């Protein structure tokens, strides 16, 4: 019927508009065809080299961070992540050392010439945190904390944005757009597993998200193998898959003594496992740095 | 083997500890067997009566809010919700009128003696917003914005906490615990649909969550039929189900002219549909106020 | 661009074609506006009255079925379901009594004048089973066992088709279409919970599916409260919701001694709980037969 | 309390029993530590070499299958899959050529010395199909079609079992157990994507399932990159990831002219794309045969 045709034409024009919006996104390859390379104190993410980002889930003490950092250093790794502000399901779980944790990270980084990545959860903390850290991490639970995104968009710090627990790729891309729209183009996207019905892993690593994000955006794409699997025995195989599919960097958690870690003890590697992990990736020809 | 038995006993003791933790939660019925009744300027939520909470998705103008509020008033409804701070997937979507929206809500509420419910997204805005609104809403995307939960936990305003898009019931309950742990016991839980594979509805209304939350906690439990379905034609049937299963209140969106609404136009009722909605619930014997 | 417009027009015409397909479905209201009423030996399903279908998960013995059936009879219920062929995750779980189970069901049904509903899993068993049972149930795991659907489509027995564990509503409707396309129009659709990330219930009852299926098809719509929740304590509240939203019948499992049941012991009611269940639905004005 | 402790001990013993069951599974590494190597007419799957299994989604004609097979042959591939019995959502979609399709596959296989893999859906068709094909495929929709599993378990043909659309890994493993329990140990497991909320891909490739299945069972593990992504542009990157993580073989669909394919036109490669696909895997050092 005629009425129906008009309705279809209306929907068609909506489609065209949607298409234009996508074209207009700052994160889109249509807007900027060439890869964005994010510079982390001299280490380039997004230039084709593939990196490892490691460190403890939570910063617990200077000694703990230092021990992990030394092990990283011995392997030639400089990208150190550690949590000072910890989003925890229960208010009675360890909430992180806060500013004190950032101070520890900065001290170790200065001693060993490393790059510090740490999560910020509150817009109020962004300015303070920037004095201590080199890369601001936005965690999965805050992917759509839009005031936080706007706040970090107003800084010139590189941002590591994690995909939300059940965010679509489209929502993920638009969350990054919030940051670019405020003027900060140094954004890295991190796939960290999505929530599905499957219980064998903590989350389901959506490995296909890597090539999709690389195609649709010009931003570097990372994979967090620790949180996507929640299982120490899966870190190595999923890291291989992530490098093979083209991830610009892989994140994994390391703790001197995982059994007594204040968070995520079941999924962190100890130093010896970490060394095996790096070596195995090198032996497989997948990690070349 | 013996080693295996010890491992089992260890896991057993972990189970006991978990059980104790649950017992200790302030939101738990084990801690407080009797129902919490939240007082919204004289309207009691949680005392067995069942209420309707309605209003426009976004506050757009004084005239728009006033028109909806008058229609509510004519039906004897006083619980007015409207969004001033809007969490939107894209930074280029309408972000709400902000403080100006709160002023409009307060003005209409004073003129017509209504109770105002509105979402706050940023911990920094809580104190300011409390001057304008009667109930602080925490939206689904902010269910695990822990700094925001702590901030509202420090006020004495009633809080309407929405379940996250893919939050488990356990995570939802623990998010509420963040608020109670800071001293604010006036919390209402709102089921608003969860993210699943099904595409016939915007989200999947998890109706079973209502009796589970009523059993496990002493807090009032609400159902948002608008966001859980995303379809105007499902508001009435799902509202019937929600009242029948024991929801303390139902939330639904009303707009004078949904077709031109600045957000969620496909799922809001117009004034005439709203009147039919309320009348149908009354006719079915499910809405008695 | 012009090329783009042509592409859009092509997609538009695809949309129109899809729309026509939907119109053409035999299950669709567009094809047959009036409700289909399925006659189960004199009991009409789909005529506005709301029924209860109960019985044990698995047929275990004549005495077991007889005891449940007598309790049903005392409550005025005649629709008896029991499983003889049991789809079980593990090959080492009880697989049902098979044909012997059907004989028991038929014997009890004849003694007490009841209607028997039982699942068939193998196309080869359909003809044999039809000699014993009044309604063929197709279980969730077999919703897309297309040869089985075609086989029951070739009989004149009423069919109770359960929604697959992760079937979309569209797939569910098209599975029913397989049966109607073979000439059997006596199909009843049964929502039984879908698989989601939530673990507080065995599945997530998709209550919104009921009004959607009632709108899009002319077939009766049932709700299985046992399998959708997997929790005895949720049977009554979800049954209330299902009746309030317009389900034509509710299915629930009853066993004389659930603790020793050969399957699903955690979710079946015993006789006393069953009597309370029926009485509570009557008291709430929701079950009127 | 004492009562509680007894309950815990009871649950503990249930856990031990569950553990014993797992140990007892024929598919388990605990039962058989060494890898099962399935012999497909001389081609060994599971011995550490990594293979490609390709062919058209549906068998449409002798010419079509022959053209694909010749392209495979030119690349040195011998494992030819093609669908003769097609499980389709709608009864009005192309249902496959049935027995005629099997005849075409056999004819081409004999002409070009290839191995034929094809799906069987009905227990009644198994015996007949075995005269034409070398490997029986059980599709995702039939993973829990237990009578079909038992039937193929009674043959001596290799079986390629696909994971169900929303099957857990535990359910998948137990479905394979149905086949081994009937005496057929030549089973290959195939991850083919699971149903999640994400819509950018047809399904979500659960890449972590590969190492989990390799650890827990002794069976070969395959990855179907076509059905897990539903996107031609993702076949190569996901194939790289699958080989890197240790899949024993990868399945992908090839059609001489995908645009006119009778099923799955959007996700099949044409001959030229197929050649590029194989070459790219070889260039990356991931496909060595």
Residue B110 lies in a domain: yes
| Mutation site for D-interface testing, chosen from A241, A283, A288 by largest number of D Cβ within 10 Å | A241
Q: Is C225 helix (H, G, I), strand (E, B) or coil?
A: helix
Asked if B222 contacts B188 with a C-beta cutoff of 8 angstroms, the reply is yes
Show the low-confidence residues of chain A (pLDDT under 70): 1-23
- Decide: residue B236, CB within 10 A, 0-12 exposed, 13-18 middle, 19+ buried: buried
Do D152 and D195 fall within a single domain?
A: yes
Contact yes or no for A204 and D208 at CB 8 A: yes
Q: Which residues, other chains included, contact C44 with Cβ-Cβ below 8 Å and sequence gap of 6+? A: C37, C38
Q: Which of D92, D141, D178 sits opposite C144 (nearest CB)?
A: D141
Digit-coded pLDDT (tens) for C152-177: 999 999 999 999 999 999 999 999 99
Give the model's pLDDT for residue A266: 81
Do B21 and B43 fall within a single domain?
A: no
Digit-coded pLDDT (tens) for C60-83: 999 999 999 999 999 999 999 999
End-to-end CA distance of chain D: 64
Q: Which of B8, B15, B196 sits opposite D197 (nearest CB)?
A: B196
Do A143 and A187 fall within a single domain?
A: yes
Show the low-confidence residues of chain B (pLDDT under 50): none
Residue C197 lies in a domain: yes
Angle, helices C271-283/C62-74, rounded to nearest 10 degrees = 20
**Range B15-22, long-range pairs (CB < 8 A, 24+ positions):** B15/D8, B15/D11, B16/D4, B16/D8, B19/D4, B21/A90, B21/A92
Residues 165-194 of B with CB under 8 A from D: 166
Q: Which residue has the tokens 């963040």?
A: B178
> What is the domain extent for residue B12?
1-33
Give the model's pLDDT for residue C263: 83
Greatest pairwise CA separation for chain A in angstroms = 75
Give the model's pLDDT for residue D214: 98
Residue A289 lies in a domain: no
Query: How does strand D38-40 pair with strand B187-191?
Result: unpaired
Q: Dihedral through CA C211, CA C216, CA C220, CA C221, nearest 10?
A: -40
Nearest Cα neighbor of D155 from D194, D125, D177, D182 is: D182
Do D103 and D242 fall within a single domain?
A: yes
Digit-coded pLDDT (tens) for C176-222: 999 999 999 999 999 999 999 999 999 999 999 999 999 999 999 99
Q: Which residues, other chains included, contact D48 with Cβ-Cβ below 8 Å and sequence gap of 6+? A: none
Answer whether residue C240 shows pLDDT above 60.
Answer: yes
Query: How does strand B51-55 pair with strand B43-45?
Result: unpaired
| Mutation site for B-interface testing, chosen from D2, D8, D19, D89 by largest number of B Cβ within 10 Å | D8
Q: Which of C90, C174, C195 sits opposite D177 (nearest CB)?
A: C90
Do C43 and C21 fall within a single domain?
A: no
Do D273 and D131 fall within a single domain?
A: yes
Q: Is C10 helix (H, G, I), strand (E, B) or coil?
A: helix
Map B24-43 to HEC letters. HCCCECCCCCCCCCEEECCE
Give the model's pLDDT for residue C182: 97
**What's the Cα-to-Cα distance from D214 to each of A242, D219, D221, D287, rounded to whole Å?**
18, 7, 7, 19
Nearest Cα neighbor of D202 from A212, C223, B49 is: A212
Give the residue-averaged pLDDT of C110-119: 98
Give the model's pLDDT for residue D264: 79
Do A123 and A18 fall within a single domain?
A: no
Map chain A to HEC letters. CHHHHHHHHHHHHHHHHHHHHHHHCCCECCCCCCCCCEEECCEEECCCCCEEEEECCECCCHHHHHHHHHHHHHCCCCEEECECCCCCCCCCCCCCCCHHHHHHHHHHHHHHCCEEEEECCCHHHHHHHHCCCCEEEECHHHCCCHHHHHHHHCCCCCEEEECCCCCCHHHHHHHHHHHHHCCCCCEEEEECCECCCCCCCCCECECCHHHHHHHHECCCEEEEHHHHHCCHHHHHHHHHHHHHHCCCEEEEEECCCHHHCCCCCCCCECHHHHHHHHHHHHHCCCCCC
Q: Is D270 helix (H, G, I), strand (E, B) or coil?
A: coil
Confidence of residue C3 (pLDDT cuts 50, 70, 90): low
Which H helix or E strand runs over D9?
Answer: helix D2-24
Nearest Cα neighbor of D209 from D190, D233, D235 is: D190
Write the Ramachandran bin of A27: left for phi over 0, alpha for psi from -120 to 50, otherwise beta.
alpha
Residue B288 lies in a domain: no
Q: Which residue has the tokens 């195989």?
A: A237
Residue A20 lies in a domain: yes
Chain D hits for B19, CB-CB cut-off 8 Å, are: 4
Greatest pairwise CA separation for chain C in angstroms = 75
Give the C-alpha separation, C226 to C233, whole Å: 10
Q: Which residues, other chains included, contact A78 with Cβ-Cβ below 8 Å and sequence gap of 6+? A: A43, A72, A113, A114, A115
Alpha-carbon distance B16 to nearest alpha carbon in chain D (angstroms): 8
| Residue D217 contacts A, CB cutoff 8 Å | no
Write the Ramachandran bin of B48: left for phi over 0, alpha for psi from -120 to 50, otherwise beta.
left
Number of B to C CB contacts under 8 A, please give it: 110
Give the model's pLDDT for residue B264: 79
Q: How many C-beta atoms lie closer than 10 Å to residue A156's C-beta?
A: 10
Q: Please name every residue paired with D161 in a beta bridge, in sequence order, or none if there are none.
A: D138, D189
**CA C39 to the chain's CA centroid:** 15
Counted domains in chain B: 2
Going residue by residue through chain D (289 aa), what tens digit of pLDDT does each one get? 455 555 555 555 555 555 665 568 999 999 999 999 999 999 999 999 999 999 999 999 999 999 999 999 999 999 999 999 999 999 999 999 999 999 999 999 999 999 999 999 999 999 999 999 999 999 999 999 999 999 999 999 999 999 999 999 999 999 999 999 999 999 999 999 999 999 999 999 999 999 999 999 999 999 999 999 999 999 999 999 999 999 999 999 999 999 888 887 889 999 999 999 999 999 999 999 9
Name the residue with higher pLDDT: C11 or D74: D74
Contact yes or no for D16 and B8 at CB 8 A: yes
| Residue C267 contacts B, CB cutoff 8 Å | no
Residue C183 lies in a domain: yes
Query: How does strand B249-253 pair with strand B51-55?
Result: parallel
Q: Please name every residue paired with C53 in a beta bridge, in sequence order, or none if there are none.
A: C79, C251
Q: Is D121 helix (H, G, I), strand (E, B) or coil?
A: coil
**Range B12-20, long-range pairs (CB < 8 A, 24+ positions):** B12/D8, B12/D9, B12/D11, B12/D12, B15/D8, B15/D11, B16/D4, B16/D8, B19/D4
Give the model's pLDDT for residue A153: 98
Q: With the C-alpha atoms ordered D278, D280, D282, D286, is the resulting torsion angle positive or negative?
A: negative
Give the model's pLDDT for residue D20: 60
Residues in chain D: 289
Contact yes or no for B211 and C245 at CB 8 A: no
Asked if A243 contacts A48 with a C-beta cutoff of 8 angstroms, the reply is no
Residues in chain C: 289
Asked if D176 contacts D187 with a C-beta cutoff of 8 angstroms, the reply is yes
Give the C-alpha separation, D201 to D213, whole Å: 23
Residue B289 lies in a domain: no
Give the model's pLDDT for residue B262: 86
Do C24 and C135 fall within a single domain?
A: no
Do A140 and A232 fall within a single domain?
A: yes
Give the model's pLDDT for residue D177: 98
| Residue B200 contacts D, CB cutoff 8 Å | no
User: Using CB atoms, which chains have 3+ pairs under 8 A with B?
Assistant: A, C, D
Do A99 and A239 fall within a single domain?
A: yes
Greatest pairwise CA separation for chain D in angstroms = 75
Do A23 and A91 fall within a single domain?
A: no
Do D156 and D61 fall within a single domain?
A: yes
Give the model's pLDDT for residue D237: 98
Which H helix or E strand runs over C208?
Answer: none
CATH, residue C237: 3.20.20.70
Q: Please name every residue paired with B160 in a beta bridge, in sequence order, or none if there are none.
A: B137, B188
Residues in chain A: 289
Residue C288 lies in a domain: no
């Amino acid at each position: 019927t005629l009425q129906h045709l008009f309705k279809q034409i209306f929907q068609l024009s909506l489609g065209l508009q949607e298409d234009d919006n996508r074209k207009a996104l700052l994160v889109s390859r249509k807007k900027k065809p060439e890869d964005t390379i994010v510079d982390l104190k001299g280490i380039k993410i997004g230039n084709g080299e593939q990196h490892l980002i490691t460190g403890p889930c939570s910063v617990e003490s200077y000694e703990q961070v230092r021990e992990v950092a030394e092990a990283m250093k011995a392997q030639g790794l400089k990208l150190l992540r550690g949590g000072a502000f910890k989003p925890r399901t229960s208010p009675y779980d360890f909430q992180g050392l806060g500013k004190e944790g950032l101070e520890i990270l900065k001290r170790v980084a200065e001693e060993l010439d490393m790059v510090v990545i740490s999560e910020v959860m509150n817009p109020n903390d962004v300015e303070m945190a920037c004095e201590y850290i080199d890369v601001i991490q936005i965690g999965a639970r805050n992917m759509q904390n839009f005031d936080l995104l706007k706040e970090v968009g107003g800084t010139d710090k590189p941002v590591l944005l994690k995909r939300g627990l059940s965010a679509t790729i489209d929502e993920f891309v638009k969350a990054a757009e919030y940051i670019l729209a405020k003027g900060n183009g140094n954004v890295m996207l991190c796939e960290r597993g999505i929530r599905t019905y499957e219980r064998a892993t903590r989350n389901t690593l959506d490995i296909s998200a890597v090539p999709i994000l690389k195609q649709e955006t010009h931003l570097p794409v990372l994979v967090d193998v620790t949180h996507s699997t929640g299982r120490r025995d899966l870190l190595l195989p999923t890291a291989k898959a992530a490098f093979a599919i083209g991830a610009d960097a892989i994140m994994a958690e390391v703790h001197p003594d995982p059994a007594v870690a204040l968070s995520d003890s079941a999924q962190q590697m100890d130093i010896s496992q970490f060394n095996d992990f790096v070596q195995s990736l090198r032996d497989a020809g997948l990690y070349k740095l």
